[in-house]
Structure 1
Amino acid sequence: MLRRARNFISKTWRKFLNIFLPTETATESKQKWNRLAKENARYFVMTDYGEKIDEPTFRASGQKDYQMLIEQDELLRQRLQPFKTKKVLEIGCGIGRLTEFLADNFNEVFGIDISEEMIEHGKKRLANKNNVRLAATDGLTFPFPDSNFDLVFSFIVFQHMPDIAIIRRNLKEIGRVLKPNGLAKIQLRGLPTSKKNWFYGPAFARRDAEKLIVSLPLTIIKTEGENQRYFWLWLEKH
């Protein structure tokens, strides 16, 4: 009974804060992520290993996640192999944690991030990867022509976008830059959090995600992890 009451109070307080606290803008997000990149880029890209995460651990985490999220994804394998002939865009590439391993397996890899600091760090880390191009963006638009990519991928990025309108703008851009019948694999936040946290972003269930893509040239072909930490969408451009 006491635990139930505490949970109710906590949820009510979180909803109150999320209604009345101001929503971060894309410009404010850029400023925040540039600051965090200067402070501790590896940690703020991958917080699971603590603030003292070193380069070997950071790199190993990227390889592990690449294998789990791309290499072992049966849908992506069926639709996109051979990967070596495909062109991929990574949204929120940070300093290239996953980009490095995408580059080892795909023909061309483009990574974008809202933080110029992250991008500059990433360019130094991946200087030996000739098939990688990294660029900073405004967090709303992508500097690429229409129908350009076979795959768009994003992990632990959309969960930090502070506003539903910003997320929809990014999804609109995904629909624009994907080739016809191209795929996107995007992770959204599945569990709610408070705006008082630096990592805030709105949470989604499948019904919410369906609303995000209304009138966009995208179809949800698979979901996974609804009401969990990581809520995944597989999208196809029609």
Structure 2
Amino acid sequence: MTDLTILEQCGRGEISPQIALSRLLLAGGPVDAGHLAREAAAHPDSAPLAALARLAARHGDRLEGLGRLARSGLWPSGDDVFGATAALFDRLAAEAPEAGVAFYSLGDPDELAAATAELAGIVRAWSPAATGRILDLGCGIGRLALALGPEAESVLGLDLSEGMIAEACRRARGRGNVRFARSDGRRWPLGDGEIDVVVAADSLPYAVEAGAVAEVVAEAARVLRPGGDLLVFNWSYRGDPGRDVAEARSLAAACGFEVVRAGEKPFAIWDAVSFHLRRAR
């Protein structure tokens, strides 16, 4: 995707300024806040481009470092996808925990908090069971688990990365109903029907890449109680929403889920394609 395409999408309001700026950085070239200011000035009627220029100016001191982070590689490589993913996120936990779990946060705690609040709001709106027992799959630094914790009976965050789990535990000190554990991604330390809601925010794409998505969906079906919800935010990064929807519907049927939503984009900040599957009663 070219820089021009990204700017056009932002200008039309198809993607948020946060997503636009993160995509410009991920494209690999230098991002110049001055250039974005000139683009906004050339399109005075475009509020999104003006917001993008302000965002870049506000985070101007971060852009070079974020560009280096993007160029360092943010996707696992090699045949052992889960092992490579764990190693990748161990590195990110040490180098850039906020940007590591949501690059569009630009590594800024306030940007991450706003995006997390939006995500937690969707989880609660879609699943009344989010006041019960929640599993946060691929929890990273624990941002969503900690956001959901105050209104939940309990939250368990699982992640492949020991570094991310250590950071999540540090941030969760004093939060007795929120805990974290490392998992291999395929089998979770839970009994059958023990969970009310499973949330997979930007974690299922790694299972898709590993060829293990059917195992993960089946494991979600195992740990969810009848009527429990599986909420997936980004099924994959393949760039083929139709294929993702078809795969979600197929696995839902195979694993005993009803499809409540498939392929929706409910966020103002994030661009996640979202899915809501409900365990058959």
TM-score above 0.5: yes
Shift of 1:236: 1.4
Partner residue in 2 for 1:76: 127
Partner residue in 1 for 2:256: 217
Partner residue in 1 for 2:196: 150
Partner residue in 2 for 1:26: 82
Instruction: Tell me if structure 1 keeps the 8 A contact 2:259–2:277.
Output: yes
Distance 1:100 1:177, change over 3 A: same
Instruction: Tell me if structure 2 keeps the 8 A contact 1:23–1:162.
Output: no
Count of aligned positions: 200
The DSSP-based 3-state class of the residue aligned with 1:152 is strand
Instruction: Identify which of structures 1 and 2 has the higher relative contact order when contacts are C-alpha pairs closer than 8 Å and 6+ apart.
Output: 1
CA-based RMSD of the aligned residues comes to 2.7
Partner residue in 2 for 1:141: 187
The structure in which a higher percent of residues are helix is: 2
Distance 1:42 1:94, change over 3 A: same
The separation in 2 between residues aligned to 1:63 and 1:107, in whole angstroms, is 18
Provide Cα deviations, 1:114-150, integer angstroms capped at 9, x if missing partner: 1110011001111121101100111211111110011
Shift of 1:162: 4.9
Instruction: Tell me if structure 2 keeps the 8 A contact 1:168–1:212.
Output: yes
Residue type matched to 2:89 in 1?
W
The DSSP-based 3-state class of the residue aligned with 1:165 is coil
Instruction: Tell me if structure 2 keeps the 8 A contact 1:163–1:202.
Output: no
Instruction: Tell me if structure 2 keeps the 8 A contact 1:189–1:204.
Output: no
Partner residue in 2 for 1:16: none
Are 1:49 and 2:105 matched, yes or no? yes
TM-score normalised per structure 1: 0.74
Residue type matched to 2:207 in 1?
M
The separation in 2 between residues aligned to 1:128 and 1:29, in whole angstroms, is 29
The separation in 2 between residues aligned to 1:159 and 1:123, in whole angstroms, is 24
Partner residue in 1 for 2:22: none
Shift of 1:202: 10
**Of 227, 233, 237, which aligns to 2:275?**
233
Partner residue in 2 for 1:127: 173
Shift of 1:102: 0.7
The separation in 2 between residues aligned to 1:120 and 1:191, in whole angstroms, is 27
Shift of 1:215: 2.9
Greater Rg over alpha carbons, structure: 2
